[in-house]
Structure 1
Amino acid sequence: MSIFEEVHERKKTRSVKWDMIESVFGSKEVVPMWVADMDFRAPNKINEALIKRAEHGIYGYTVIDKEVQDSVVNWIGNRHRWEINSEWLSFSPGVVNTLHMAIQAFTEPGDKVLIQTPVYTPFYNVIKGHHREIVKNPLIYNDGQYHIDFDDFSEKLKSGVKVFVLCSPHNPVGKVWSIDELKEIARLCLENGVMIISDEIHADLVFRGVHHTPIASISHEIADNTITCMAPSKTFNLAGLEVSYVVTSNKEKREKLNNQFTKQGYHPNGLNTMANTALEAAYTHGGPWLEELIAVLESHRNYVIETLESETTLKVTRSEGTYLLWIDCSALQLNSDDLKKFMIQEAKVGLNAGVDYGVEGEQFMRMNIACPRATLEEGVKRIIDAVKQR
């Protein structure tokens, strides 16, 4: 049996995804396919490294040393063809934490921040929570695919926007932006004096035929205008260990961000003991496991698309990356509240409501396919049966 086919019991492990289903969905009967973590064990090399560290039994303060830094530098160079310097790195418990710090460091209350909707829910919370103004550049949905409205993007940048928060690859629609799209984004931001904060947490999870390009890797000028947020957490299912990092080549911006980290009680060169250990192990030994994972996720994506579209009126965006699928439920002709209730009460699956990612997602649901095939098939079957019984 493949390691990705094994079903692991996650209930009573204090799992948000499994132990909170009743409080989130009001039912114990749903199959949880929502919050973005995987139902797969992390690579053995990571688990072995963590066990060895635990056997030492002393959990004092730890530092990010050269070995850990080099593992990040080498991973990004080999995986993403981006040669970075270890001095450019800052470390953080999570990308969302970094977004909070960055918004505070590089904008002031009342400043405009641009996002491309529908988009990851914390983008809204980070901007509004610090009293900045959200400016939206809605993505164009056409024939089951999403594209950037560059005319609107350009006009919005001219309205006084200070920062653009890029989601690359895009969550929830699964789009991996082409290098031409990224170049145009960067050109317009430079032209209008708009800084880029790029959330690239899903960078490693892209399918065959596409390649993720870190926007800052395109040119020195673009890198100088960008901070890039990355992590091994989605890639290797390490979210609970709280480990991420930021790549900032511009010294002034890096120091400004690090100062904001310090103000909030974070050390930009420190992680918790287990996060530190897992980061190095993941980037040193995790490549072969990741290749197997991507093949499984691509197979899962194809299964969901082919099965749902052949058996129901639902349409699924053909994602190019991430382990999240964006399902167009408009044929059901339900409003967002009724659609959510239908999935919970009739289909008995726990998905993320599309409306949570913006009004553009009112007729959509987001499905997490990073689970054993048996779990995936059960969730898909429940949806098909519920749709047919309407």
Structure 2
Amino acid sequence: MYNFDEVINRKNTNSISYEGWKSSYEHLKVDGAFPFGDDYIRMWVADMDFATPPEIIEAIKERLDKKILGYTQIFDSKYYETLEKWFLEQYHWEINTKEIVISPGVVPALLRLVPLLIKPDENILISTPSYGPFNLAGTYHNRQVFNSKLRKNNHRFEMDFADLEQKIKDPSLNIKLFILCNPHNPTGSVWTKEELYTLGKICLDNNVWIISDEIHCDLLRTGKQHIPLATIFKETDRIVTCTAPSKTFNLAGSLMSNIFIKNESVRKQYQETYHEVLSPLNIAATQAAYSKCLPWLEALKQYLDANFQLLETILLKELPHAKFSIPEATYLAWIDISYYIKNLPNKHKLTEFFIKNAGVVVEDENKFVNHSAGFIRLNIACSQAVLIEGLNKITNSLKTINQ
């Protein structure tokens, strides 16, 4: 029903995936051109190379047929009823739609929320490696951002609760906000109910706000279950939950996220400070995603499961010393290739290495704040043919420097 094997040409679409990396690596050009010309496999930024679901495209077309794209906000209750049904059926979460504020994305929401939740002399804690904008959310507002290293336990990354509690209780650090990634990017861990309860108790018992970024919650491996943090701590109003259809349905350019702010004072400040005028096309896309695209999502997850199995098989055969476990969620592979880069003169610029030597764009440690040396993150949300080609180029380039 859905063709995830289709290879779509994103040239001349102003795509960040296709064009966005180039300006940062102009110094790698030779005689005005990159070593592999335009023939690059892009496995970096977190949007998919799959077509946006046809049900969403059709909903956008239907909205365009209404002929006027004027000033728009959400007045039709069907939008909120759609969200109520989605979160209840998928996550047993009875949301309160009055808590929702609309943001043009989760990253803008993080930047907006920090000064509303904590004072200028209060600081932030994150688990690392971390999605880079979590750090930016603090530094942009001159807050210190402290790191707690995730621990590797067999094949899974886990939070170090003793370290988290020690840092949160340290008065010299003055931590008043924890930014949680649930499920985690880049490691792909899906936090269990017990883990979320332990984290929540540590934070809430010490008067620490929690922003829970749950943007990857729909992209689970078969058999895994996402638990919204807010469903465990129903009585508190010190948890802000960030959700969006963007990762799930390949709508990153749609710029529409649903942010749940239970605290009335904070929500009022947010609404008074940020008065959104929305795109009518984005509203149509979001509503269609949550009301019509579950079959597409189920098919997508099966395809991603197969891609991860393929990735694991190739790595075991071609790079047996690479450390990789199939993540519990996301379409992002977190791979430790430290063994294979011992001979590199600069082990901290792996993105540059693969641009120059493989014709593949990946993300290296510099995008993930801390505790990520020797790792690369691969976006495997592409056709299996492209995945195989990209992995062949990566493995061949690493074998070359280890001959």
TM-score (norm 2): 0.91
Corresponding residue of 1:329: 337
One of 69, 72, 80 as aligned partner of 1:59:
69
Residue ranges of structure 1 left out of the alignment (5+ in a row): none
SS across alignment from 2:334: strand
SS across alignment from 2:278: coil
Cα distance, 1:142 vs structure 2: 4.0
In 2, the alpha carbon distance for the partners of 1:93 and 1:336 equals: 36
Number of aligned positions between the proteins: 383
CA deviations over 1:288-307 (Å, ceiling 9, x no partner): 00000011111111111221
- Worse-superposed segment, 141-150 or 252-261: 252-261
Are positions 1:32 and 2:42 aligned together? yes
Are positions 1:315 and 2:323 aligned together? yes
In 2, the alpha carbon distance for the partners of 1:258 and 1:136 equals: 31
Residue ranges of structure 2 left out of the alignment (5+ in a row): 29-33
1:165 and 1:151, CA in 2 relative to 1: closer, same or farther beyond 3 A? Answer: same
Cα distance, 1:337 vs structure 2: 3.1
Corresponding residue of 2:187: 173
One of 215, 222, 234 as aligned partner of 1:208:
222
Cα distance, 1:71 vs structure 2: 0.9
Are positions 1:87 and 2:98 aligned together? yes
In 1, the alpha carbon distance for the partners of 2:8 and 2:189 equals: 30
Q: CA RMSD in A?
A: 1.6
Corresponding residue of 2:7: 7
Corresponding residue of 2:357: 346
1:98 and 1:154, CA in 2 relative to 1: closer, same or farther beyond 3 A? Answer: same
SS across alignment from 1:193: coil
In 1, the alpha carbon distance for the partners of 2:309 and 2:24 equals: 28
- Worse-superposed segment, 192-201 or 380-389: 380-389
One of 189, 197, 204 as aligned partner of 1:190:
204
8 Å CA contact retained: 1:305, 1:315: no
In 2, the alpha carbon distance for the partners of 1:260 and 1:124 equals: 23
Cα distance, 1:42 vs structure 2: 1.2
8 Å CA contact retained: 1:355, 1:364: no
Corresponding residue of 1:247: 260
The one-letter amino acid paired with 2:72 is T
The one-letter amino acid paired with 1:293 is L
In 2, the alpha carbon distance for the partners of 1:109 and 1:192 equals: 18
8 Å CA contact retained: 2:190, 2:226: yes
In 1, the alpha carbon distance for the partners of 2:361 and 2:191 equals: 28
In 2, the alpha carbon distance for the partners of 1:127 and 1:232 equals: 25
In 1, the alpha carbon distance for the partners of 2:13 and 2:244 equals: 23
Cα distance, 1:345 vs structure 2: 1.7
Cα distance, 1:287 vs structure 2: 0.5
One of 298, 306, 313 as aligned partner of 1:306:
313
The one-letter amino acid paired with 2:263 is N
SS across alignment from 1:119: coil
1:1-390 aligned at under 5 Å gives the runs 2-25=2-25, 26=28, 27=34, 28=37, 29-64=39-74, 65-159=76-170, 160-222=174-236, 224-261=237-274, 266-267=275-276, 270-312=277-319, 313-332=321-340, 333=342, 334=344, 335-390=346-401
Cα distance, 1:355 vs structure 2: 2.9
Higher share in helix: 1
In 2, the alpha carbon distance for the partners of 1:354 and 1:302 equals: 24
CA deviations over 1:11-65 (Å, ceiling 9, x no partner): 1111111133433444334311101101111111110010111122211111212
TM-score (norm 1): 0.94
In 2, the alpha carbon distance for the partners of 1:277 and 1:339 equals: 40
In 2, the alpha carbon distance for the partners of 1:275 and 1:352 equals: 29
8 Å CA contact retained: 2:123, 2:144: yes
8 Å CA contact retained: 1:116, 1:137: yes
The one-letter amino acid paired with 1:239 is A
Corresponding residue of 2:31: none
In 2, the alpha carbon distance for the partners of 1:229 and 1:2 equals: 29
